[in-house]
Amino acid sequence: IITITAATQSGSEGIVGLDEPKKMTREDWRKKKELEEQRKLGNAPAEVDEEGKDINPHIPQYISSVPWYIDPSKRPTLKHQRPQQERQKQFSAIGEWYKRGVQEKSVTTKFRKGACENCGAFTHKKKDCMERPRKVGAKFTGTGIAPDEHSQVTLALDYDGKRDRWNGYDPEDHQRIVEEYAKVDLAKRTLKAHRLQDELASGKLMDQTVNLVRQMKILFWMFSSPCLSLQEREHNSEDEDEDKYADDIDMPGQNFDSKRRITVRNLRIREDIAKYLRNLDPNSAYYDPKTRAMRENPYSNTGMNPDEVGYAGDNFVRYSGDTITMAQTQLFAWEAYEKGSEVHLQADPTKLELLHQSYKVKKEDFKEKQKEGILEKYGGQEHLDAPPRELLLAQTEDYVEYSRHGAVIKGLDKAVARSKYEEDVLINNHTCIWGSYWRDGCWGYKCCHSMVKQSYCTGDAGIKTAVSRFVLCTKVLLDTHDRSGYALEAEDKRLRQVEMMMQLDERKRPYNSLQEVKEPTEAEMEAFRMKRSRPDDPMASFLGQ
Q: Please say which residue of 392, 415, 438 terminates a domain.
A: 415
Other beta carbons within 10 Å of 155: 15
The pTM for the full model equals 0.24
pLDDT tens for each residue of 494-519? 888 878 877 877 777 776 655 667 78
- The span from the CA of 382 to the CA of 528, in Å, is 64
Range list of H helices, 166-269? 171-202, 207-224, 230-239
- The pLDDT of residue 225 is 47
Whether the predicted pLDDT of 447 surpasses 80:
yes
* Residue 267 sits in the same domain as residue 375: no
* Residue 252 sits in the same domain as residue 304: yes
* Residue 292 sits in the same domain as residue 219: yes
123 CB burial (10 A radius; 0-12, 13-18, 19+): middle
* Residue 123 sits in the same domain as residue 223: no
* Residue 252 sits in the same domain as residue 367: no
* Residue 297 sits in the same domain as residue 216: yes
- The pLDDT of residue 22 is 65
* Residue 187 sits in the same domain as residue 310: yes
* Residue 409 sits in the same domain as residue 372: yes
* Residue 242 sits in the same domain as residue 295: yes
| Least confident window among 146-160, 384-398, 486-500 | 384-398
Strand partners, 149: 102
DSSP letter at 119? T
Provide long-range contacts, Cβ within 8 A and 24+ apart, for 380-385: none
- The pLDDT of residue 117 is 93
Answer with the residue of higher pLDDT: 252 or 437: 437
Strand partners, 437: 444
Q: Please say which residue of 384, 415, 446 terminates a domain.
A: 415
Residue 36 lies in a domain: yes
Q: Shortest CA distance to 54 belongs to which of 67, 62, 44?
A: 44
pLDDT tens for each residue of 58-89? 999 888 888 877 766 677 888 888 877 766 67
120 CB burial (10 A radius; 0-12, 13-18, 19+): buried
Q: How many domains does the chain have?
A: 4
Answer with the residue of higher pLDDT: 371 or 523: 371
Whether the predicted pLDDT of 285 surpasses 70:
yes
Task: Tell which phi-psi region holds residue 411, choosing left (phi > 0), alpha (psi between -120 and 50) or beta.
Answer: left
Residue 229 lies in a domain: yes
Secondary structure of 8-76 in the HEC alphabet? HHCCCHHHHHHHCCCCCCHHHHHHHHHHHHHHHHCCCCCCECCCCCECCCCCCHHHHCCCCCCCCCCCC
- The pLDDT of residue 242 is 46
Instruction: Tell me the three state secondary structure of residue 330.
Output: helix
Mean of the pLDDT values across residues 407-432?
74
Mean of the pLDDT values across residues 275-304?
86
Q: Shortest CA distance to 33 belongs to which of 14, 13, 9, 20?
A: 14
Q: Where is mean pLDDT largest: 15-24, 39-48, 311-320?
A: 39-48
* Residue 52 sits in the same domain as residue 129: no
Whether the predicted pLDDT of 414 surpasses 50:
yes
Residue 423 lies in a domain: no
The pLDDT-based confidence of 221 (bands split at 50, 70, 90) is low
- The pLDDT of residue 206 is 53
Residue 535 lies in a domain: no
* Residue 119 sits in the same domain as residue 222: no
- Whole domain around residue 31: which residue ranges? 2-87
* Residue 264 sits in the same domain as residue 307: yes
